[in-house]
Amino acid sequence: MIKGFTRFLQSPGEHLRSLFGPQDASASRPVLRVIPRQEHPVSRQHFSDAALKVLYRLHNAGHEAFLVGGCIRDSLLGRMPKDFDVATDATPEQVRELFRNSRIIGRRFRIVHVRFGREVIEVTTFRGKPGDDHGDHIAQQSDDGMLLRDNVWGNIEEDALRRDFTVNALYYSIADFSIHDFADGVRDIESRTLRLIGDPATRYREDPVRMLRAVRFAAKLDFHLAPETEAPIAELAPLLLQVPPARLFDEVLKLFMAGHGVETFRLLRDYGLFAMLFPEADEAMAELPWAEAVIEQALASTDKRIHEERPVTPAFLFAALLWGPVQQRQKALEDDGMPPIPALQAASQQVISRQLQHVAIPKRFSLPMRDIWDLQQRLPLRRGKRVFQTREHPRFRAAYDFLLIREAAGELEPGLGDWWTAFQDADEHEQRRLLSKAGADPAGSGAPRKRRRRRRKPRKPSGES
């Protein structure tokens, strides 16, 4: 938490009002408000050295330089900013020349990444109106009004109006430490409101991902959507089907891996957005009584781990999101006479290839996801050597956690999870007892030592069942 913000956090709205003085809430047309340093609580102490370095170097080179977006919004809310976005009148090429440690990225939206060790500062050139032709035709729109490229430079005011929400259009000037509020963003921070700048339907058509961003910020900041910002979502949600799957993968991670996954999931479903990202999962939830609980349990456990600063992997989350449809398909294939193991393989394959049309899942996550699914068939097989092979599988831990979630969600009778919990903690004697309880009896087989040696030096699973 930011030092000196305790009071602010207890009553953010009130504190801001007292800091910024009374405002005219009835003003409908936003006007620029410049809030001088002594009238706002945002201090350079809240910013990283890297961010300050970028601001000062741009400033000293004669450019305008502002911090903008989430870092100012979060600072005003008394939250520690998680990353820093800089807006400037310098072009990407000019920024690139000022920082050796930088590179220009993006085509649709060209920006410069300036790297300091593990920290990356995003530097964006002020955007102008997409309709303006600045000679080299750098803004493009699809027939539906979707912005395919947005690389028309402009001034800070135009830039502010191109941003998504009013609370994201607050600029902190490094020249005099004032905050520039172009769209009544401070008022909306006070009332915890997410309000799109401009005509909401047009802004969603330009970039349907803004619907996801609305939900993400609502969950993360505990804000509500302004009625006009909320209204078009139900109708426009299907526009997400036109967004490239790779971009949606990035967004899905931000939605579900930021510590507010359960709330975000609930909002996505309320607004009809979840079905646009995971259509088969959405259908499975309507048919399988446990499918929703599996996802919620996985999200709750992910949220908990994030708050405890423990590692999380998208593979586990995607495994839970798609488990419902995988089980539906597996069952259908088994009903057609396919044995369970190939049925699960085929079902996994089919569900993944369908899903990839909506949200990309890089191989580095889809492969471990499939391992987690495959292991669900191996966890119940608790015969001698097999148990130790399963235990030593690199994805055992994730698969075991997944099993616990399936039990908690009511998909499975509880019991197997407890057995594996006990088995992992047990000494050799206790393990033998558990194995015999599970139906196999290694002591009776007369080869406990041999088994133990095999356990230390695992072999590739042989053909035995």
| List of residues contacting ligand ATP (CB under 6 A) | 69-70, 82-83, 85, 163-164, 168-169, 207, 209-210
Which stretch, 70-78, 134-142, 311-319, 444-452, contacts Mg ion (CB under 5 A)? Answer: 70-78
Shortest spacing between CB 13 and ligand ATP, in angstroms? 20
Shortest spacing between CB 421 and ligand ATP, in angstroms? 37
In one-letter notation, the amino acid at residue 32 is: L
In one-letter notation, the amino acid at residue 191 is: S
**Active-site annotation holder among 74, 85, 150, 371:** 85
Q: Which among ligand ATP, Mg ion, none contacts residue 163 (Cβ within 5 to 8 A by kind)?
A: ligand ATP
Shortest spacing between CB 85 and ligand ATP, in angstroms? 4
Active-site residue, 85 included = yes
Q: Are 27 and 184 in contact (CB under 8 A)?
A: yes
For ligand ATP, the closer CB: 165 or 316? 165
For Mg ion, the closer CB: 256 or 316? 256
| Contact track, Mg ion, 77-96, x by CB under 5 A | ------x-x-----------
**Active-site annotation holder among 89, 159, 164, 188:** 164
For Mg ion, the closer CB: 58 or 399? 58
For ligand ATP, the closer CB: 64 or 83? 83
**Binder to Mg ion among 70, 208, 261, 368 (CB under 5 A)?**
70
Active-site residue, 132 included = no
Which stretch, 40-48, 63-71, 130-138, 244-252, contacts Mg ion (CB under 5 A)? Answer: 63-71
Point out the residues that are catalytic.
83, 85, 164
